[in-house]
Amino acid sequence: MTRRPAPRARPTEPAPPPPWDPGLQPERTALAWQRTVLSQVTVALGLAHVTSHHSLPLTVALLLVALPLTAVLLHAVSRRTARTDHQLRSTTPLRQGRLPYALTALTVTTGIAALAFLVVSG
């Protein structure tokens, strides 16, 4: 009786790589959002400084909109970071957030204030 050779063991396939580098991608994204929000508020504050010499109501309106919106955006960035990290770890699909829309609102507010300043001072 001839012996059959034992079947060769198949090499196990390597596990697919995780969808992110643990702990770093969400933090990098959060830092990018923070830099963007802070640069927007810096522009708004600079514009408020310039407009304060020409139109106090415009300055107050700009600050009443830009500063609370900035606080909301920074809070949203921290919540988004925690949610993204949780979703990546649990391999659930990432949700589309409203953060880009809020940042757009801050940018548009600053742009409208700059345009109003040009109209008032010009």
Give percent of the chain above pLDDT 90: 1
User: Residues with Cβ < 8 Å from 73, sequence gap 6 or more?
Assistant: 33, 37, 99, 102, 103, 106
113-122 long-range Cβ contacts below 8 angstroms, 24+ apart: 113/44, 113/47, 113/48, 113/51, 113/58, 113/61, 113/62, 113/66, 114/47, 116/55, 116/58, 117/47, 117/50, 117/51, 117/54, 117/55, 117/58, 120/51, 120/54, 120/55, 120/58, 121/54, 121/55
* Number of Cβ within a 10 Å radius of residue 13: 6
Residue 116 banded pLDDT, cuts 50, 70, 90: confident
The pLDDT of 95-102, averaged and rounded, is 80
To the question of pTM greater than 0.75 for the whole model, the response is no
Q: Does position 46 have pLDDT exceeding 80, yes or no? A: yes
